[in-house]
Amino acid sequence: MPWQYYRWYHGDWRSETQTVVSLLGFMHWLETGSLLMHTQTEERLGLNTSEFGLDIEDYLIGICFISNELPRYVVNQVTAGDYDCPRKVLKFLTDLHAAFRMLNLRNDLLRKKFDGMKYDLHRVEEVYYDVKIRGLTANGDSTRDLGIQGQS
């Protein structure tokens, strides 16, 4: 029975599940620029929610892992000459962080991963502002596009 798997084996595969969710989510973001939803992740994993689904906490932690990769991605893209990348990533991370802030998280691993997201967001902001100060952004680029006001 599916519930027995969860009861006995969920802990054995939890880390791997979170990593797979993170990879699927990052690939989806690279392709579309949007967040991979829980139901989409289940579909990609071939899970039937009526019998066996993706644990919501594993999904959320996997999504948090995406934010760990984005600062490195931004630095690599800027080094390669894509000066618009920091704006796109900053917009995505700002929205993601705002969505997580609406959750009432316990003091557990998910909360720690969410708390780490603000540092990833800060690193992307630093790259964005550095590119902007150097005049490498496209004309008309504005911090108002990102919902950022009064930050420097």
Task: Look at residue 151 in the predicted model and tell me its pLDDT.
Answer: 43
Q: What are phi and psi of 38, to 5 degrees?
A: -55, -45
In this predicted structure, what is the pLDDT of residue 90? 96
Cβ-contact 116, 70 below 8 angstroms: no
User: Which pLDDT value is given to residue 61?
Assistant: 93
Per-residue confidence (pLDDT) for residue 150, from 0 to 100: 41
pTM score of the predicted model: 0.80
Q: Which long-range contacts (CB under 8 A, 24 or more apart) does 147-152 make?
A: 147/91, 147/94, 148/90, 148/94, 151/125
Rounded (10°) angle between helices 38-45 and 2-32: 110
Beta carbons of 120 and 93 less than 8 angstroms apart: yes
Q: What is the mean pLDDT of each run of 10 residues along the chain (152 residues)?
A: 60 84 96 95 83 85 94 96 95 95 85 91 96 78 47 40
Q: Which CATH class is domain 2-136?
A: mainly alpha
CB 86 within 8 Å of CB 32: no
Place of tokens 């894509």: 82
Q: Which of 14, 20, 34 is nearest to 108 (CA)?
A: 14
- Count, residues in the chain: 152
